[in-house]
Structure 1
Amino acid sequence: MTNKVLAKDIIQMLEYWAPKELAYDWDNVGLQLGTLNKEVKKVMISLDVLENVADEAIANDIDLIIAHHPLLFKATKQINVDQPKGKTIAKLLKHDITVYAAHTNLDIAFGGVNDMLTKQLDITNTDVLVPSGEEAYLKLVVYVPTEKVDEVKQVLGDNGAGHLGNYSHCTFEQKGTGSFTPQGDATPYIGTIGKEEQVNEVKLETIIPSTAKDFFVRTLLDVHPYEEPAYDLIPLANEGKTIGVGRIGTIREERTLREFCEDVKEKLDVPALRSIGDLNKKIKKVAVLGGSGQGYIAQAKRLGADVYLTGDLTFHDAQEAWEMGLAVIDPGHHVEKVMIEGLIQFFEKQELSITFVAAKSSTEPFQFL
């Protein structure tokens, strides 16, 4: 990639990790404001986009904000610049700041928000808490001149192609001879206009997740030396990974609910939390769902969780959990701020020639007295 980075280049990387197709139908993920066809030199990662975040972005010459919670979530029927939302939108547009949101797709994605939370809490041996489907696989087949096959294979593998179970960079190669005749305005990598050319080629096969096929096709076309490479995308019978929201796993050492509450406060950086259940109850199996997960109390209980950690519990949902004997911890919705550092780490691995910064403005509305 050249030194000039467009917003769409950054978002392409993010959407490979957390494709928009993973998001729930009711969600509004993706571009919220502005354009992705702009050069970007500085990106801010934020949980929310409130007016104070917009002010911080303006003061720091930010070109792109990537947020977890969508700026535009409910239907917007008017933009009144005398109201907080309208004022925020006006400021962002005036200063040409693009806003993008990765919400439930980032919750569901492997390594996303829920996995970040389980990692912070040292929860291991995790499974999906609420399955929503299965990620299908495709076989990507492409014909590459022999001298370039190692480069193409490496780039595809380094970007996540060929990942199967506990193995990475899985490929199959078959040598052969390709033939073609460049025509008209072609600018061939090999050969002469109007003359048939024969080339030693390798038929390269690898496996990719179907949700990221567009990303891998673009990656292939960028690295492949041919002007018009031939490729196939073939559905595979391999059983895909179960995808869904939330995670359930075990902590390394059994603890009381009281002790685990203290761990949560320390590791998720919250000054206080709400809990349900006997504080002396022994905790080993933990279910986690960042944000508002009160609708899945029964699922956490059914899967054998000793405690369920989620936010935004209502009084009656709390009573339901209490009556069924499930301990619950509500540390607040704001613990999803783990995504800020998580995304910065992700993008820093991409070695882009731009700066990523964490939003410092608080978007936590609650005070603890």
Structure 2
Amino acid sequence: MPLRLNDFLETAEQLWPRAGAESWDSVGLVSGDPAAEISRILLAVDAVADTVDEAVAVDADLLLVHHPLLLRGVTSVAEDRYKGALLARLIRSDCALLAAHTNADVVASGTSAVLADRVGLESSVPIVPGDDPAIGLGRVGRLSEPTTLGRLARLLVDVLPATASGVRVAGDYDREVQTIAVCGGAGDSLLSHPAVQSADVYITADLRHHPASEAREQTKLSGRGPALIDVSHWASEWLWLDAAAAELRRAHPELDIVVSDIRTDPWDFAIVR
């Protein structure tokens, strides 16, 4: 029997339960007919013009993204506004849109867990665990052997897809590190968490000037606290797409699951003096 979108939504709920989403989040089906038949799915971090064009070009029946297109309230989906234009193009092309955001961050195979695995952390656990200790925000674990902060940063350059912003580091290049905390996506809200503070280094994205500067200064004063590694938000979460695709292929081998390689990091280039 052909697979219907509604059946796929049940699988998505099992993998990334909506109950795990933050209260401010907007996850789930954005557009599309739950009764429609689907055979090909495109996975991407963002629903932007390039990934929508790709979904249409590969004849996808569903575009599954990490970041919700309608995260913040809108009052119009007119086609002279980009969100309206994207939705209209998807609807006209019979391509549904589904978002799995913070509900996909917290699961045992979520964005931070995938990042922790690619970094090489062993027995990583959530920084902020939920009722189930395997589920929660961020991850913290240990490398099998110590390395230096500089080598760890170079490892991230190799592991993550290339972006204009690259990998930024606050700390001594030769500092020995072994206990690593990670949070895919924007993670400066966890800077003061005890699990992060007791780590040797914290890897996340979107570290703003003031929180990063304050954390750095406090570490200098107290002699305790993690070095900081700031990576691209998009890159830190793009790794999750392959893991999600693998789970979906196991659940639905009849589907054609495609992972987008399009870079949707918003920065095109950087000039360094």
Give the TM-score normalised by structure 2.
0.91
Q: Which has the larger displacement, 307-316 or 13-22?
A: 13-22
Shift of 1:242: 5.3
Match among 173, 177, 196 for residue 283 of structure 1 = 177
1:70 is matched with: 68
1:330 equivalent to 2:224? Answer no
Deviations, residues 195-227 of structure 1 (Å, cap 9, x unaligned): xxxxxxxxxxxxxxxxxxxxxxxxxxxxxxxxx
2:168 is matched with: 274
1:316 equivalent to 2:210? Answer yes
Determine if contact 2:108/2:134 at 8 Å carries over to the other structure.
no
Determine if contact 1:257/1:278 at 8 Å carries over to the other structure.
yes
Q: Distance in 2 between matches of 1:358 and 1:300?
A: 36
Deviations, residues 122-144 of structure 1 (Å, cap 9, x unaligned): 1112111023x303xxxxxxxxx
Give the TM-score normalised by structure 1.
0.68
**AA partner of residue 134 (structure 1):** D
**AA partner of residue 138 (structure 2):** G
1:244 equivalent to 2:136? Answer yes
Which runs of structure 2 are paired with 1:1-369 in the superposition (5 Å)? 2=1, 4-131=2-129, 133-135=130-132, 241=133, 243-270=135-162, 272-299=166-193, 304-325=198-219, 326-334=226-234, 335-366=236-267, 367-369=269-271
Determine if contact 1:284/1:306 at 8 Å carries over to the other structure.
yes
Shift of 1:80: 2.5
**AA partner of residue 92 (structure 1):** L
Give the share of equivalent positions with the same residue, in percent.
30
> Secondary structure of the equivalent of 1:363?
coil
Q: Which has the higher strand share?
A: 1
Deviations, residues 135-193 of structure 1 (Å, cap 9, x unaligned): 3xxxxxxxxxxxxxxxxxxxxxxxxxxxxxxxxxxxxxxxxxxxxxxxxxxxxxxxxxx
Q: Distance in 2 between matches of 1:263 and 1:360?
A: 20
Sort the Cα spacing of 1:344 and 1:53 in 2 relative to 1 into closer, same or farther, 3 A: same
Runs of 4 or more, structure 1, over 4 Å off, are 300-303
> Secondary structure of the equivalent of 1:349?
helix
Sort the Cα spacing of 1:79 and 1:48 in 2 relative to 1 into closer, same or farther, 3 A: same
**AA partner of residue 337 (structure 1):** W
Shift of 1:368: 3.5
Tell me, which stretches of 5 or more residues in structure 1 are unaligned?
A: 136-240
**AA partner of residue 354 (structure 1):** L
**AA partner of residue 265 (structure 1):** V
Deviations, residues 320-356 of structure 1 (Å, cap 9, x unaligned): 2211222110111012001211111111112431211
**AA partner of residue 148 (structure 2):** T
After superposition, the CA RMSD in angstroms is 1.5
Q: Distance in 2 between matches of 1:81 and 1:351?
A: 34
Sort the Cα spacing of 1:90 and 1:351 in 2 relative to 1 into closer, same or farther, 3 A: closer
Provide the aligned length of Structure 1 versus Structure 2.
261
> Secondary structure of the equivalent of 2:123?
strand
Determine if contact 1:69/1:102 at 8 Å carries over to the other structure.
yes
Tell me, which stretches of 5 or more residues in structure 2 are unaligned?
A: 220-225
**AA partner of residue 91 (structure 1):** R
